[in-house]
Amino acid sequence: MTTATTRTPTAQRAVGTAHTRVEGRDKVTGAARYAGDIPFAELAHGWLVLSSVARGRIRSLETAPVLGMPGVLAVLHHENAPRVDSDHIGLLGVPPEPTSVVFQHDRVPHMGWPVALVVAETSEQAREAAEALVVHYESEPHDVAFSGGHPDVYALDGHMPAVTEKGDLEAELAASAVVVDEEYTTPEEHHSPMEPHAAAARWDGGRLEVVDSNQGSTWVADGLAKLFSLDPESVRVRSEHVGGGFGSKGVRAHQVAAVMAATVLQRPVRVVLTRRQMFALAGYRSPTAQRIRLGADADGRLRALDHRSVNLTSTVHEFVEPSAGVARVMYDADAHHTANRVVRLDVPTPTWMRAPGEAPGSFALEAALDELAEKCGIDPIELRARNEPERGPVSGRPFSSRNLLACFREGARRFGWADRDPRPGLRREGRWLLGTGTAAASFPAGAGPSTAVVTAEADGTFTVRIAAADLGTGARTALTLVAADALEVTTDRVRVRIGDSDFGPAMIAGGSMGTRSWAWAITAAAGELRERLALGAAVPPEGITVRSDTTAAIGALAQKERHSFGAQFAEVAVDVATGEVRVRRMLGVFAAGRIVNPLTARSQFVGGMIWGVSMALHEEAVRDLASGGHVGADLAGYHVATHADVQRIEADWIDDPDPDDPVGIKGIGEIGIVGAAAAIANAVWHATGVRHRSLPIRPDRVLPAGTGALRA
Amino acid sequence: MREFGYRRVSDVATAVAVLDAEPHARFLGGGTNLVDLMKTGVERPALLIDVRELPLDRIESTEGGGLRIGATVTNSDLAAHPEVRRRYPALTQAVLAGASGQLRNMATVGGNLLQRTRCGYFADVNKPCNKRVPGSGCPAVEGEHHNHAILGASGHCVAVHPSDMGVALTAFDAAVSYESADGPGELPLAEFYLPVGDTPHLETALPPGALITGVTLPAAPVAARSRYRKVRERASYAFAIGSIAAALDVRDGVVRDARLAFGAVASRPWRARAAEEVLVGAPADATTFAAAADAELAAAKPLPRNGYKVTLMHNLVVSELTALAEGVAR
Amino acid sequence: MAPSTSSAITLNINGEKFTLTVDHRTTLLDALRERLDLTGTKKGCDQGQCGACTVLLDGRRAVSCLQLAVAAEGREITTIEGVAEGERLHPVQQAFLDLDGFQCGYCTPGQICSAVAVIQEHAAGWPSAVTDDVRPEAGPPPLTDDEIRERMSGNLCRCGAYVSIVQAVARAAASEEQDKGAAA
């Protein structure tokens, strides 16, 4: 037995100092094991078979020949698979996504719907057998053609009301000296994490164990327990390392199919999605069609703001990409209207993807602001300064903090904005036309209830257990720093264990809320533990453990407009003879709460900005109207930015601790992408004189557009 | 992927004899295209004959001042070879513009010439494709075709050939040598790829069962001043939406010799002979270059959503020839 | 007679010999991961479109997802597990760690194997697609950030760690250059 002391006189504050990732050595040596890397004795391999029609029903499956193939153990489908209960609400307040509730009926609501799982001794055998399975369909006419003008569009509440309306829009537009009225579109985009979705399921002594790659182990465990009508205590989901998620890694078809197969075969079964299957099964960001109408006085003050967005959803699940929501935060106007609408098509269900709503919404709104600045003859930053709201434009609530203009000031200074000639099409360097652009960014700062367990070990170290997920965010490292400070010890005495549903309920890694939510719970538990130890208690061999739950504390937060803010700057080069666009330089300055680990935070901000480059210039999933499926559903057909697309990108931040958070955190996972595509599009206009209102800004669009406006 | 046999061979005669005995066999070189197509179900060989270790991995000067390149030379070795870089810099540039460092280390010259289109319909066995399943139709004509052909296509197929290397080889009059059960043979690259017509599944004039043994580049002094330029939808690691290999010999302001070939605009690397005819003997200026581009592109038949490629190729012809005339290295 | 669809082979990996019988369909990637418990090499796309599965074959980088295991017999294979010298990280690994050249870490083994080869390819004088003048007379191009970016472009990183990866490759290349200078 030893006596632990948590007071180290020389201990520095860990939060705010750069720390390499605690699992970094494992990641650079290949020792870090992801879901598909963990071996099991007697592991069988499942391969999903997806529908080849976009709408209809399964008439029959020719399973007999497949069952006779070498190594094949089972073929699960709607006639023989275990029944599950999909009539429930998950931890995030929504029913399970129907594509994950596999093999329950013969309906096919979209191309790529899971119709069977073939299980075999090896993945090669499973794959060949899955490819050989003949499925007969009764196919029906489908509609996959998205447009903002689709006749079946309807307003849909998501986590926010569909429609907000204040003031007389038409009257204010009519009274405006300057009006911008444009439509902006963004295409279907896919998360495309480098690690494909993978799960291995097995029954172990009456307990279901799932090794998975997800954004919340308790979330997935809860979902599986409810689907399979199991006692929550009898389901354990682990997710130690996650190769990226970005919103795509929740309960999906592969885990459910793996659990079914493990149950039927009573041996471990792993199901891994292929890259192509991910395009049908892993969710995606819906395309959007957004109409923005801005009316302003000659001095740029907004009289009217109308932001209407339409996205698609599937016929089996309603999902809204709330792109108009960003206008409810950013700018006020005498008449202020916003609306999120959807149309149901015969397509897979879209889902959250990094900065859902804000990413496409900020492209439209911030590009429109740039057009207004041009029409008013006002600098784009000054235009935003003149429209900086005192309170939430729709809610009327005060902002917890709003340091947008400070971001613009610091960004403008570092980027060299003051020297900018606002006229487009003036700068040339060889074959390249050069331009710069800017845009504002915001993202909600929230927290979700979590529990944490902190143990003072007998050897003087501390173990933190929390069902957090580190998708590459650096959460594991950030939480180590937070725990060290809360315990008032150095980081080498703290071990943070995450990614295990047995650690108790916790917020998912999503909504830029993960690290803040978990840090809050750890701080609470560590604080109580420190107080106990301060009394001089001896630490028994099993340690002293304190558990926290932040449900009450988070519920008691005052209602305010809580957001991170940022200013994005971009310099582009455009060759109008080939249509090539290069982003030469980007700077993002953010006011995003207290920065726990500057090293990894910078990576996350910059990573988000690179998502912005990719969204602005590259990404588009193409759906073939005839078949209802994708064309080029792989990483050669769906382009994400690679090394050569990314030149000088810098991110920095200003001091902006959240006054209502115990650590001062707001959240940084998503804001890096917000406004980035708009800053790039605005820079393309500045280079060429042409407004590109549809993403991606690709050679087939840039080349025909040329420098149209300049010639006129 | 279906089960298959595997046999590694070390001499050309055996390779050809083994294929002759098993009509559902395929030669395996670097595997960068074939293995992928086997995974997607487009290719289902019964036997792979691994030819990577055949003694065809040398690059040698020919007596006439050209180069003979073995079929199993990797793209990387081809691009890095000093004589290629000196005599045919556009060929090095073309190879380096293709794929990635990893894939260039694996891919071979012979395989590069035989690679299949990256058309998304061809690669998806659940969709119709005349190239994959003759008579099933070409959904690209009405569907997604923003990166499809503007030259030499037919209503049966509008896919493009993805090679970069082949574009430079085409510009420099390369010839493909092969070995078949009937003995050795040679085909000029200009005759190697068949017109699309109504048989898009028939891609080359190679006799059945033939093994490509190498490529011969004739001497071409004009090639010492050559460039390859590729435009794609990201800055690297993507197939072309338009590319050009160009060589120009200008003396006293007049074009003495010119070579032009286009990539990603047709079912094969496209030799721009109409443009070359305009160029030779004409003043080396922007007017000539534009006229040359127009002469070649007069035959273009763009689809509803790939018309931009006509402008792109026009602009590439002018900019690359201008750069060559001005003596810019690349 | 139908040909056999599997073969007994010996693979030489990280200086060690492994004997196993493989289904001919088995890629080197799957053999490493599923048969030999060398799971550091990652499967990102299985189609040669992302670079996550990069290994060194006879010292040159290659994507193991398009390399059949049976065809890899006789070749020297180096995976991420064989890059460090015992406990001492390779300079590329150390630079990735110190400069945060990764986030989720899934593309990292491929990025690192690729970077090790990029430094060697550059040292051998290989030009790249962004080299101004590829003629041998022009000499080897300096390893600028643009050169590193182009040469590393076969390795996608969806987290967007590119900026720090390029810094890490530059730092490792410089330190190797220094070591060579010191040895000379």
CA distance C8 to chain B (A): 12
User: Which chain C residue's Cα is nearest to B3?
Assistant: C5
B330 → closest Cβ in C47, C51, C132: C132
CA gap B185, B187 in Å, rounded: 7
Statement to judge: residues A705 and A578 lie in one domain? yes
Measured between beta carbons, the chain A residues lying within 8 angstroms of C38 are 30
Statement to judge: residues A594 and A704 lie in one domain? yes
CA gap A318, B154 in Å, rounded: 43
Q: Which of B6, B28, B103, B226 to mutate to test the interface with C (most CBs of C within 10 A)?
A: B6
Are C40 and A640 an interchain contact pair (Cβ–Cβ within 8 Å)? no
Which of these three, A555, A590, A616, is where a domain ends? A555
Q: Which CATH architecture has domain C6-82?
A: Roll (3.10)
Residues 103..142 of B with a Cβ closer than 8 Å to C: which?
103, 105-106
DSSP-derived secondary structure letter, A186: E
CA gap A85, A101 in Å, rounded: 9
Determine the pLDDT at residue A2: 44
The answer to whether A550 and A453 are in contact (CB under 8 A) is no
C133 → closest Cβ in B28, B47, B329: B329
Which of these three, A497, A527, A555, is where a domain ends? A555
Residues 642..681 of A with a Cβ closer than 8 Å to C: which?
642-644, 646-649
CA gap B40, B193 in Å, rounded: 24
Is A503 a member of any domain? yes
Residue B5 has pLDDT above 90, yes or no: yes
Is A205 a member of any domain? no
CA gap A708, A685 in Å, rounded: 11
C129 → closest Cβ in B2, B76, B97: B97
CA distance A614 to chain B (A): 9
Please compute the mean of the pLDDT values over residues A44-61 and round it to a whole number.
98
Residue C139 has pLDDT above 80, yes or no: yes
Statement to judge: residues A441 and A455 lie in one domain? no
Is A562 a member of any domain? yes
DSSP-derived secondary structure letter, C154: T
Q: Which of A25, A29, A40 to mutate to test the interface with C (most CBs of C within 10 A)?
A: A29
Determine the pLDDT at residue C1: 57
Range of the domain at A401: 387-446+557-712
Statement to judge: residues A550 and A467 lie in one domain? yes
Are C160 and A128 an interchain contact pair (Cβ–Cβ within 8 Å)? no
Residues 212..271 of B with a Cβ closer than 8 Å to C: which?
230, 235-237
Which CATH code fits C91-183? Answer: 1.10.150.120
Determine the pLDDT at residue C179: 80
Burial class (CB in 10 A: 0-12, 13-18, 19+), B29: buried
**Single pTM value for the model:** 0.98
Q: Is B24 on the interface with C (CB under 8 A)?
A: no
Rg (chain C; Cα; Å): 17
C104 → closest Cβ in A124, A128, A243: A243
Is A432 a member of any domain? yes
pLDDT in tens, A562-595: 999 999 999 999 999 999 999 999 999 999 999 9
Q: Which of B243, B308, B313, B317 to mutate to test the interface with A (most CBs of A within 10 A)?
A: B308
Please compute the mean of the pLDDT values over residues C18-22 and round it to a whole number.
98
pLDDT in tens, A106-149: 999 999 999 999 999 999 999 999 999 999 999 999 999 999 99
Please compute the mean of the pLDDT values over residues C76-83 and round it to a whole number.
98
Q: Where are the domains of chain C?
A: 6-82, 91-183
Residue A8 has pLDDT above 50, yes or no: no
- Angle value at C-alpha A24, between A19 and A27, nearest 5 degrees: 165
Residues 49..78 of B with a Cβ closer than 8 Å to C: which?
50, 52, 76
Statement to judge: residues A465 and A393 lie in one domain? no
- Give DSSP secondary structure letters for A225-279: HHHTT--GGGEEEE-SB-S--TT--SS-HHHHHHHHHHHHHSS-EEEE--HHHHH
In one-letter notation, the amino acid at residue A181 is D
Predicted confidence band of residue A707 (pLDDT cuts 50, 70, 90)? confident
pLDDT in tens, C83-122: 999 999 999 999 999 999 999 999 999 999 999 999 999 9
Measured between beta carbons, the chain A residues lying within 8 angstroms of B235 are 582, 642, 644-645
CA gap A483, A413 in Å, rounded: 36
Measured between beta carbons, the chain C residues lying within 8 angstroms of A610 are 160, 162-163
Are A607 and C104 an interchain contact pair (Cβ–Cβ within 8 Å)? no
CA gap C102, C100 in Å, rounded: 5
Are B241 and A131 an interchain contact pair (Cβ–Cβ within 8 Å)? no
Size of interface A-C (CB pairs under 8 A): 185
User: ipTM, 2 decimals?
Assistant: 0.98
Q: Which domain CATH number covers A599?
A: 3.30.365.10
> Is residue A696 reached through a cis peptide bond, with omega within 30 degrees of 0 on the bond before it?
yes
Predicted confidence band of residue B272 (pLDDT cuts 50, 70, 90)? very high
pLDDT in tens, B283-297: 999 999 999 999 999
Residue A165 has pLDDT above 70, yes or no: yes
Statement to judge: residues A545 and A587 lie in one domain? no
Residues present in chain A in total: 712
Which region, left, alpha or beta, applies to residue A30 given φ > 0 means left and ψ of -120 to 50 means alpha? left
Chain B touching partners, 3 or more CB pairs below 8 A: A, C
Determine the pLDDT at residue A711: 45
Tokens of A533: 């130890």
CA distance C4 to chain A (A): 14
Residues 85..124 of C with a Cβ closer than 8 Å to A: which?
89, 93-94, 96-98, 100, 102-109, 112
The gap from C-alpha B209 to its chain's centroid, in whole angstroms, comes to: 21
Residues 228..247 of A with a Cβ closer than 8 Å to C: which?
241-244, 246
Measured between beta carbons, the chain A residues lying within 8 angstroms of C79 are 30
Q: Which of C159, C165, C166 to mutate to test the interface with A (most CBs of A within 10 A)?
A: C159
Determine the pLDDT at residue C144: 98
Please compute the mean of the pLDDT values over residues A214-231 and round it to a whole number.
98
User: Which domains can be identified in chain B, with CATH numbers?
Assistant: 5-50 (3.30.43.10), 225-325 (3.30.390.50)
CA distance A607 to chain C (A): 4
Q: Which of C70, C93, C100 to mutate to test the interface with A (most CBs of A within 10 A)?
A: C100
CA distance A128 to chain C (A): 10
Measured between beta carbons, the chain B residues lying within 8 angstroms of A51 are none
Q: Classify each residue of A249-279 as buried b or exposed e, where b means 16 or more C-beta atoms within 10 Å of its C-beta.
A: bbbbbbbbbbbbbbbbbebbbbbbbbbbbbb
Are C104 and A608 an interchain contact pair (Cβ–Cβ within 8 Å)? no
Predicted confidence band of residue A11 (pLDDT cuts 50, 70, 90)? very low
Which of these three, A555, A577, A601, is where a domain ends? A555
Statement to judge: residues A403 and A458 lie in one domain? no
Is A501 a member of any domain? yes
CA distance C2 to chain B (A): 8
Q: Is B123 on the interface with A (CB under 8 A)?
A: yes
Residue A415 has pLDDT above 60, yes or no: yes
Determine the pLDDT at residue A645: 98
Measured between beta carbons, the chain A residues lying within 8 angstroms of C108 are 27-28
Q: What percent of chain A has pLDDT over 90?
A: 96
Please compute the mean of the pLDDT values over residues A87-91 and round it to a whole number.
93
Residue C184 has pLDDT above 60, yes or no: no
pLDDT in tens, B78-117: 999 999 999 999 999 999 999 999 999 999 999 999 999 9
pLDDT in tens, A657-703: 999 999 999 999 999 999 999 999 999 999 999 999 999 999 999 99
Helices A598-617 and C162-183: angle between axes, nearest 10 degrees: 120
Determine the pLDDT at residue A601: 98
Measured between beta carbons, the chain B residues lying within 8 angstroms of A649 are none
Total Cβ atoms within 10 A of residue B252 = 7
Are A25 and C23 an interchain contact pair (Cβ–Cβ within 8 Å)? no
Tally of structural domains, chain A: 2
Tokens of A477: 């490292």
Is A535 a member of any domain? yes
Please compute the mean of the pLDDT values over residues B16-20 and round it to a whole number.
96
What is the number of H-type helices and E-type strands within chain B?
Answer: 12, 12
Residues 60..119 of B with a Cβ closer than 8 Å to A: which?
118
Are B308 and A617 an interchain contact pair (Cβ–Cβ within 8 Å)? no
Show which residues of A are catalytic. Answer: 670
Determine the pLDDT at residue A537: 76
Statement to judge: residues A467 and A420 lie in one domain? no
Determine the pLDDT at residue A712: 42
Measured between beta carbons, the chain B residues lying within 8 angstroms of A645 are 234-236
CA gap A651, A566 in Å, rounded: 10
